[in-house]
Amino acid sequence: MSTQECCAALAAAPLAADQAVELASVFKALGDPVRLRLLSMIASTEGGEVCVCELTPAFDLSQPTISHHLKLLRQAGLVDCVRRGTWVHYRALPATLDRLATVLRTPVAS
Amino acid sequence: MSTQECCAALAAAPLAADQAVELASVFKALGDPVRLRLLSMIASTEGGEVCVCELTPAFDLSQPTISHHLKLLRQAGLVDCVRRGTWVHYRALPATLDRLATVLRTPVAS
DNA sequence: GCCCTGGATTGATAGTTGTCAATATAGATG
DNA sequence: CATCTATATTGACAACTATCAATCCAGGGC
């Protein structure tokens, strides 16, 4: 699917079933407070990369749970990760966020 | 919570826990293909209002199931409904969509 | 009042999800 | 190689969700 076809907004035309399935899977990834905070921590970091070792202690959750949420964010195409020695660094993929924002933005004129 | 405080973007600063809970509940409502299509059908309608009797037959699902999804969209603040005689008409609440779009939009400068 | 129709609610059930404890894997270091 | 540390994976379980059939409620028409 083209990432940014014209007038992809929800309010522009009824969404096709297959597009709805794909979009919903990304929104579902955002539908959890822990994942939203993780994504926000990653996306708002100055250098653009955050070590998992900084993310995990920010929550009152076990390490496997955080790892699980990071995996879902990865599968949704919202973040990416790189191994640097023993550590793994995550960074945001802004294209996916922008796409969602475009989909949600109400058309200017009616 | 102020609906539109300055720099509410995900990528601007780490999201507070309570804001994450609230935002996640709305994204969760979008995290289902049926609801996404319902919302799109409602938001893209010319007159701004759609009768449930037009929404239900567009899906291969039972009437209670559609009613359930509409309820979740309502509870998320994404749509609103009005009774007109025997029929119930739904319309979109663009403020909520705009808020989400703002949250997702990547800040222009870094 | 009685019935019909549109829509919401209830109750039940199969499937999914968030969480943890336990374990595995990958890289660094001695 | 042995060991330690940082993440990921597996397995299990309680909580939640999407769905349907059955039922209820609200309005309109007779």
% of chain B with per-residue pLDDT over 70: 91
Query: Is the C-beta of residue B64 closer than 7 Å to nucleic acid chain C?
Result: yes
Q: Which residues pair with A51 in a beta bridge?
A: A89
Whether B22 and B102 have beta carbons less than 8 Å apart is answered as no
Put simply, whether the predicted model's pTM sits higher than 0.75 gets the answer yes
pLDDT of residue B2: 44
pLDDT of residue A87: 97
Average pLDDT over residues A10-25: 95
pLDDT in tens, A66-104: 999 999 999 999 999 999 999 999 999 999 999 999 999
Question: Does the beta-carbon distance from A24 to B36 stay under 8 Å?
Answer: yes
The closest CB to that of B14, out of A28, A44, A102, belongs to A44
pLDDT for B4 beyond 50: no
* Positions 21-60 in A, CB within 7 angstroms of strand C: 28, 31-32, 34, 60
CA distance A66 to A88: 13
Give the Cβ contact number of residue B97 at 10 Å.
Answer: 23
Give the Cβ contact number of residue B106 at 10 Å.
Answer: 16
Local confidence band at A6 (pLDDT 50, 70, 90 cut-offs): low
